[in-house]
Amino acid sequence: MRVARPGEPGYAAATAVFALGAVPEPVAAAVVRTVDEVREAIRHAHRENLPVRVHTTGHWAEAARPVRKALLLRTEMDGAIEIDADRRVARVPAGSRWGAVVKAAAEHGLSVAHGSSPTVGVVGYLLGGGLSFYGRHVGLAANSVRAVELVTADGELRRATEYTPDNDDRGAAAADAELLWALRGGGGGFGVVTAVEIALFPIAKVVTGAACWPAVHAPELLRAWREWTLSAPREATTTVRILNLPDLPEVPPMLSAGPVLCVDGAVLAEKGDDVGTARARAEDLLGTLRGIAEPVLDTWQTTDPAGLLDTHMDPSDPVEVIGDHLLLDELGDDGIEAMLQVIGAGSGSPLIAAGLRQLGGAYGEPNPSGGALNHLRARYAYSGGGVPGLSGTREEILSRLPVVRAALTPWDTGRTAPTFVERFDQPQRHLDAETVAAVDAVRTRVDPDGLFRDDVMPGATQR
């Protein structure tokens, strides 16, 4: 391991982030690949009196505290992704991306509550809650975490897991179920995670894709989509967005000719016998929408689990996004109209993408064996953002965000989903005060001097 300072070899690689709007500027940085290297880095931080920050891909960088006077560690832990098909569990080294995990699990007819982009890091997404296109069926991705291996401020390698006689022969004290609870959605700041174990579920096929229409049809389409969500099957999770895509070679011409409304998502078929039902459930929605207007693009199909990674059309290259996020109650027609007035056709919105993720189902059900954040009390997750120079100027984007927030205020729950938070200075709140206090008590136990204090999400600590 080499600790590098600005301008030295290795510094740029260790500090690179996907979210270009929050490029970190730590006083030192390093890539760590083994537990011993993590321990060495922690000793270095103690000697230099530096707080420690941790990242992998930096997709979440804009929502985190700025990284300046700190030692920044990029986790790229050695070792392969291990699939235990009999137990339906995967052990994933920190630094792994979702594309690799999905591929490894699919070889055994299994999948996981993964993110929408294959390049997103597994650990940050999981411990931040995680909203997948399987979420209405399996709940928040954090609930699938069965164990976390991490090095804490004292250099100790811990394994936080629920104790059962058949999964940990070292006894209940070594299992540390309290630490596992706090890690799952508690907001970070516990140590350097080196690996996670996550539960898998069976899957045969997935019906997935995206259908897009000119945004002039958005009022009718959005109302039909919202009505469908009221009784949608739990196996289905969808997103509806207004897209203002630039005229670029990689963007299909029918999507860059003007704003479009896009409906994407997935319907899960766990067994081969379920495929016909999954197709019928998708058609319940898509048939209605296609009856309103002919889509200009329609990629919905029955495919293997890996096909879901292409559905949401996430960018593959680093990009700066300026955005905002809220968790919303049921909108009704009034809420749909209010939203379209500020992001729809004719609104002048500079947001490159803005819309709603369908929640409910298992997302909304408290999980008794889950973590500090184990469900979301909301009907929809709103997120929207612009890319300076592609969808508008920085000033235009920044001025639009509060307009959208004001329009959606009557339906705002006051809560946020951590992995959907777009920027550090937006309102963030995903835990109640009692839970924050309980998580802080665990943080104090494993990091009494606050070595990782700056790695805690805003609003997730009272320290």
Identity at 80, one-letter amino acid code: A
The 10s digit of each residue's pLDDT in 38-55 is 999 999 999 999 999 999
- By the 8 A CB rule, do 446 and 152 touch? yes
pLDDT(171) > 60: no
Identify the pLDDT of residue 315: 86
Burial of residue 348, with CB atoms counted within 10 A of its CB: 0-12 exposed, 13-18 middle, 19 or more buried: exposed
Strand order in the sheet with 52-55: 28-32, 71-75, 52-55
- Across the range 416-440, mean pLDDT stands at 95
Q: Residue 238: beta bridge partners? A: 265
Please state the pTM of the whole predicted model. 0.95
- Across the range 331-336, mean pLDDT stands at 96
pLDDT(173) > 50: no
- Across the range 137-148, mean pLDDT stands at 97
Identify the pLDDT of residue 162: 85
- Across the range 190-217, mean pLDDT stands at 98
pLDDT(165) > 60: no
To the question of domain 11-75 being in CATH 3.30.750.24, the answer is no
Please tell me the distance from the alpha carbon of residue 23 to that of residue 11, in angstroms, as a whole number: 12
pLDDT(168) > 70: no
- Across the range 31-40, mean pLDDT stands at 98
Identify the pLDDT of residue 463: 75
Which two three-digit tokens encode residue 67?
A: 């990284």
pLDDT(314) > 80: yes
Burial 265-286 (b: 16+ CB within 10 A, else e): bbbbbbeeebbeebbebbeebb
Could you give the residue range(s) of every CATH 3.30.43.10 domain in the chain? Answer: 11-75
CATH for the stretch 82-202+432-445? 3.30.465.10
Q: Which CATH class is domain 205-420?
A: alpha beta
Helical segments of 61-204, H only: 98-106, 122-127, 135-138, 172-175, 177-183
pLDDT tier at 222 (50, 70, 90 boundaries)? very high
Q: Is 362 or 173 the better-scoring residue by pLDDT?
A: 362
Please tell me the distance from the alpha carbon of residue 308 to that of residue 206, in angstroms, as a whole number: 7
The whole-angstrom distance between residue 168's C-alpha and the CA centroid of its chain comes to: 29
- Across the range 345-359, mean pLDDT stands at 97
pLDDT(170) > 50: no
> H/E element holding 160?
strand 157-161
Q: Is 398 left (phi over 0), alpha (psi -120 to 50) or beta?
A: alpha
- Across the range 399-406, mean pLDDT stands at 98
The 10s digit of each residue's pLDDT in 58-69 is 998 999 999 999
Please tell me the distance from the alpha carbon of residue 90 to that of residue 77, in angstroms, as a whole number: 15
- Across the range 79-83, mean pLDDT stands at 98
pLDDT(86) > 80: yes
Burial 359-391 (b: 16+ CB within 10 A, else e): bbbbbebebeebbbbbbbebbbbbbbbbbbebb
- Across the range 185-190, mean pLDDT stands at 97
- Across the range 311-333, mean pLDDT stands at 93
Least confident of 162-171, 270-279, 333-342: 162-171
pLDDT(163) > 60: no
pLDDT(131) > 50: yes
**Among 205, 331, 341, which residue's Cα sits nearest to residue 276?**
205
Could you give the residue range(s) of every CATH 3.30.465.10 domain in the chain? Answer: 82-202+432-445
Please tell me the distance from the alpha carbon of residue 14 to that of residue 264, in angstroms, as a whole number: 34
Identify the pLDDT of residue 174: 59
Q: Residue 201: beta bridge partners? A: 111
The mean predicted confidence, pLDDT, of the chain is 95
- Across the range 111-125, mean pLDDT stands at 96
